[in-house]
Amino acid sequence: MDWQKEIKKKYQNLGQDFNTYLAGLYYAKPITYWDYIEVDTLLSLQKPRTDFPDEFIFIGYHQVTELVLRLAIHELQQLVCSEDIEVFEIKILRINRYLDLLISSFTVMNQGMDYEQYNQFRLTLTPASGFQSAQFRFFELYCTDLIQLVPEKFREQFVDNPKLEDMFEYVYWQAAGKDFQTGKKSLTLSLFEEKYLKSLIDLAYRNQFSNLRQKVKFFQKKGKLTESLEELFRTLDRKFNIDWPMVHLQTAHTYLGTGQSEKAATGGSQWEKYLHPKYQRRIFFPELYSQQELAHWGE
């Protein structure tokens, strides 16, 4: 290929002067790894609130988690716009790899911090809580219908023409910071909703007919859901809704204890019931499981 000719053609098609761009290349500095990846910026983002050394690990690991979630959401944003089986097989496999990374790397949290340090610096984090990760919620809304994030005991009231704004008052994470008898919300939950609720509602509306569960139902209806793709969907469901919460729960047990010695979460939630999949029973793609599998989900 004659690259000089093709580049000239490119800028002509854009209505731009090729020689100006060529002169710009002469003066431009060479790209470097550190500039392209923004290494200095990334390494400046860890800002501990205490002098305990292991707080740095806690912050850094959570930032890694958010970056990996962003990679997964990048794939999900493309999938909600696609109906190509081959694209789905490639990208769901990618997402499952990202989830493998999140699951296997949790030992950095579970085994990588000093117990006494963690239980002292964590006191400065109140009322922040991991459930305030908006990307975790975005991931869910790309994957499934909002009703699947509502505990089963509340779903009946949303059978006919559900309003998504009302449904958000009953999504499972409300249980981490809301008294359903009084309707009073914790500061942790109130701050989260103040910042993200509108974005979450908007995303739920945008994805209500194009999220991954809707794609599964479409592929089933068209007879296009291959065995390999079905297993990829099932694997994604298990990894995100069972395997990852379980390693998180194991870490909580390590640092917060169990039974009589159990410590409260920084956001004030009943973290064991909040984290354990058998209580929340979040299932993205219920169409892909037998009744027995659904009955024993997360056990």
How many Å apart are CA 228 and CA 14, to the nearest integer?
Answer: 43
**Which range of residues forms the domain containing residue 68?**
57-125+134-142+164-295
Average pLDDT over residues 7-34: 93
Nearest partner of 80 among 145, 135, 173, judged by Cα? 145
User: Would you state the structure tokens that stand for residue 185, as one six-digit string?
Assistant: 């919300």
pLDDT tens-digit map of 252-273: 888 876 544 455 555 555 556 6
Q: What is the pLDDT of residue 260?
A: 41
Is pLDDT above 80 for 164? yes
Q: What is the pLDDT of residue 269?
A: 52
Is pLDDT above 90 for 192? yes
pLDDT tens-digit map of 206-251: 999 999 999 999 999 999 999 999 999 999 999 999 999 999 888 8
Is residue 98 assigned to a domain? Answer: yes
How many Å apart are CA 88 and CA 185, to the nearest integer?
Answer: 39
Average pLDDT over residues 50-57: 98
Q: Are 130 and 63 in contact (CB under 8 A)?
A: no
Nearest partner of 245 among 218, 272, 202, 276, judged by Cα? 276
> What's the chain's average pLDDT?
92
Is residue 43 assigned to a domain? Answer: no
Whose structure tokens read 């007919």? 209
Half-sphere exposure in the Cβ direction for 224 (13 Å, CA): 14
Query: How many independent structural domains does the chain possess?
Result: 1
How many Å apart are CA 21 and CA 27, to the nearest integer?
Answer: 10
Phi, psi of 195, deg, nearest 5? -85, -40
CATH number of the domain enclosing 93: 1.20.58.480
Is residue 22 assigned to a domain? Answer: no
* Beta-bridge partner residues of 83: none
Q: Please give the model's pTM, rounded to 2 decimal places.
A: 0.91
Report DSSP state, residue 123: G
Q: Are 158 and 150 in contact (CB under 8 A)?
A: yes
- For the ranges 17-26, 86-95, 259-268, the maximum mean pLDDT occurs at 86-95
Angle between helix 134-143 and 54-79 (nearest 10):
30
Q: What is the pLDDT of residue 272?
A: 64
Better-predicted residue by pLDDT, 173 or 266: 173
Average pLDDT over residues 44-51: 98
Q: What is the pLDDT of residue 299?
A: 85
Is residue 286 assigned to a domain? Answer: yes
- In this structure, the number of other CB atoms found within 10 A of the CB of residue 91 comes to 19
* CB proximity list for 251: less than 8 A, separation 6 or greater: 106, 109, 110
Is residue 31 assigned to a domain? Answer: no
Is residue 176 assigned to a domain? Answer: yes
* Beta-bridge partner residues of 178: 185
Is pLDDT above 60 for 294? yes
Is pLDDT above 70 for 90? yes
Nearest partner of 217 among 287, 284, 147, judged by Cα? 287
> pLDDT over 70 for what percent of the chain?
94
Is residue 6 assigned to a domain? Answer: no
How many Å apart are CA 224 and CA 82, to the nearest integer?
Answer: 14
Is residue 34 assigned to a domain? Answer: no
